[in-house]
Amino acid sequence: MTMKKGLTISLLIFSLIVSLFAPVGSADAKQAKKAKVSTHYYKKKKTFKYAQVKNLSKTHMKTINRDLKEDIAFSYSTYLYLKDEAKKEGYGKVTYERTYKTKFNNGKKLSILNYDYMYNGGAHGDTMVSSMNYVLTKKKTKQLFLTDVVKTKKKRTKVRDYIYNYTKKHKSKFYANLKKSDIEINYNTQYYFTKKGIAVVFQPYEISPYYVGIPMIQVPAKVYK
């Protein structure tokens, strides 16, 4: 046997031993799996949709699914309150619909937007959007609000200025008299993760006319890092 052949056989044997005794998939590899998001109906009502997740660790699923259930429960209690008030005041029927969209899901971060639509008369209904954003690590499931991502006032000012400049480049979609001070970037600001940073979500009428819908402006991470 030549030295070259002997070395090749030794390497093959070593590789076989490593493959036999190495753990099947590390914790990081498992964590890289995307969440499987499925639609559920609160109290079996088709107009109250909410998300539940699978394919993550038990800890992650327990925390996220609990939060999502608590959120839909709050929406339903809001509907019951509005329904009761409408009956007392003689407004008539109240329409309330709850839907959601998964905006980002890569196994390490998860963003879900919840939409609450309400109508009790008038030209059109109103929609409120709320976000639920999570960072998933080996040991923790952490829900992040905007101020957890854009941590300082100085950085939030940079995000505000970036968005303001964006609105000026797309004037037809935003109020003509929009001021920087009209753009609020704080704990209550809704957002979702993107591949390159975040997208800031505004409510109808907040910075644009109703026909524009729900403005979502992407902000690169380099703006606030």
Any bridge partners for residue 197, and if so which?
A: 220
> Which superfamily is assigned to 26-144 in CATH?
Fervidobacterium nodosum Rt17-B1 like (3.30.565.40)
In the chain, which segments carry CATH 3.30.565.40? 26-144
pLDDT at 93: 87
Q: Give domain 145-225's CATH architecture.
A: Alpha-Beta Complex (3.90)
Give the pLDDT mean for 149-157: 98
In the chain, which segments carry CATH 3.90.640.20? 145-225
Q: What is the pLDDT of residues 81-104, one digit of tens each?
A: 999 999 898 888 899 999 999 999
> How sure is the predictor about 31, in pLDDT bands with cuts at 50, 70 and 90?
very low
Q: Which pTM does this prediction carry?
A: 0.84
Give the Cα separation of 87 and 43 in Å (integer). 22
pLDDT at 32: 62
Torsion of CA 101, 202, 97, 45, to 10 degrees: 40
The answer to whether 213 and 204 are in contact (CB under 8 A) is yes
Task: Please state the φ and ψ torsions of residue 147, each to the nearest 5 degrees.
Answer: -70, -10
> What integer best gives the mean pLDDT of the chain?
88
pLDDT at 48: 98
